[in-house]
Amino acid sequence: MRYSTAFDLSGQVAVVTGGASGIGLESARALGQCGAAIELVDFNPATLAAAADTLRQEGVNVATSVVDVTDPKQVNAAAEQIFKRAGRVDTLLNSAGIAQLHTAVDISDEDWRRVMDVNVNGTFWCCRAFGARMIEAGGGSIVNMGSMSGTIINRPQFASSYMASKGAIHQLTKALAVEWAQSGVRVNALAPGYVATEMTLAMRARPELFNTWLDMTPMGRLAEPQEIASLVVFLASAASSYMTGSIVAVDGGYTSI
Ligand SMILES: NC(=O)c1ccc[n+]([C@@H]2O[C@H](COP(=O)([O-])OP(=O)(O)OC[C@H]3O[C@@H](n4cnc5c(N)ncnc54)[C@H](O)[C@@H]3O)[C@@H](O)[C@H]2O)c1
């Protein structure tokens, strides 16, 4: 490996779910800047089209698929179509995810199921559909979006569905990593702390939450999406070739205290 070219993804194809916004969009930009052709996946057609336009204007090669990751039929069809169209998939980033604040007593059955369905089931359907084809092709890198919430419990807000879903993503990541370790398919997860995206926008506007977050984060600030995207590039690249089953914290020191 030449270290100076380890992050060159030229000729590769990267699929990014939740690619219309936040960490997914920024990671698509980062992977694209490193040379990968991007298959951008999201269930929101309007934001997906706008995100793809923005990336194209920046010179990134982008194709789009409107997919609700909670529907395994849609996910399987998209995987088939993308492999047919692009000929290969080297990286899958599962960034589609949702969060809700609620107390355990008050959350509705539907809301609980929705968080699990998007975050856990959606991640699994995508890992399975793309992973199976990566195994056939002889390798690939899957990056799941975990969270520090898969390890610690956020405060002062309550969101047991989110904590449970992210813990499940961490364990799913390790289970698939071990199952597929001999196939050339690597499976890792990122565990970000608070990131300045749409997901945290309304919460950041509440000083009683935001000030506690800053107090509890040793670096005293949130992450910018770029600070997560650079790790996605690392996990996609040959530079991380011996990493699988890792849950990589990127949280400004939050889980160190
Ligand atoms: N923002 C944070 O502080 C933070 C911290 C740790 C982990 N994460 C995780 O990072 C990931 C991305 O979060 P973000 O902050 O970029 O949020 P975001 O809201 O900006 O982006 C999420 C994207 O996922 C898409 N999406 C939601 N449900 C979908 C579905 N059923 N099918 C397809 N697409 C769907 C949305 O349309 C949106 O484009 C999530 O998994 C989130 O849990 C975020």
Total domains, the chain: 1
Q: Residue 90 in contact with residue 13, Cβ under 8 Å?
A: yes
Residue 92 within a domain:
yes
Residue 132 within a domain:
yes
> Among the atoms of ligand 1, which is closest to the Cα of residue 222?
3
Residues of the chain above pLDDT 90, percent:
99
Q: What is the mean pLDDT of residues 158-177?
A: 98
Residue 59, pLDDT > 90, answer yes
Residue 38, pLDDT > 90, answer yes
Residue 177 within a domain:
yes
Q: Whole domain around residue 183: which residue ranges? A: 3-247
> Among the atoms of ligand 1, which is closest to the Cα of residue 25?
16
* Helix pair 122-137, 160-179: axis angle to 10 deg: 20
Residue 29 within a domain:
yes
Distance from the alpha carbon of residue 99 to the mean position of ligand 1, in angstroms: 8
For a pocket test of ligand 1, which of 145, 204, 214, 255 has the largest count of ligand atoms closer than 8 A to its C-beta?
Answer: 145
Give the residue carrying structure tokens 């506690």.
212
Residue 153 within a domain:
yes
Q: What is the pLDDT of residues 204-247, one digit of tens each?
A: 999 999 999 999 999 999 999 999 999 999 999 999 999 999 99
Residue 255 within a domain:
no
Residue 68, pLDDT > 90, answer yes
Write down the pLDDT at residue 69: 98
Residue 253 within a domain:
no
Q: What is the mean pLDDT of residues 151-167?
A: 98
Residue 256 within a domain:
no
Distance from the alpha carbon of residue 1 to the mean position of ligand 1, in angstroms: 33
E strand or H helix that includes residue 124: helix 122-137
Distance from the alpha carbon of residue 188 to the mean position of ligand 1, in angstroms: 17
Nearest CA to ligand 1 atom 2: 195
Q: What is the mean pLDDT of residues 158-176?
A: 98
Residue 1, pLDDT > 90, answer no
> Among the atoms of ligand 1, which is closest to the Cα of residue 190?
7
Nearest CA to ligand 1 atom 16: 22
Q: What is the pTM of this model?
A: 0.98
CA distances from 194 to 26, 33, 74, 167, 183 (A): 15, 25, 30, 16, 34
Residue 94, pLDDT > 90, answer yes
Q: What is the mean pLDDT of residues 172-191?
A: 98
CATH of the domain at 86: 3.40.50.720
Pocket around ligand 1: residues whose beta carbon is below 6 Å from it? 17-18, 20-24, 42-44, 47, 67-70, 95-99, 118, 122, 145, 147, 192, 194-195, 197-200
- Calculated CA dihedral for residues 33, 39, 43, 49, nearest 10 degrees: 60
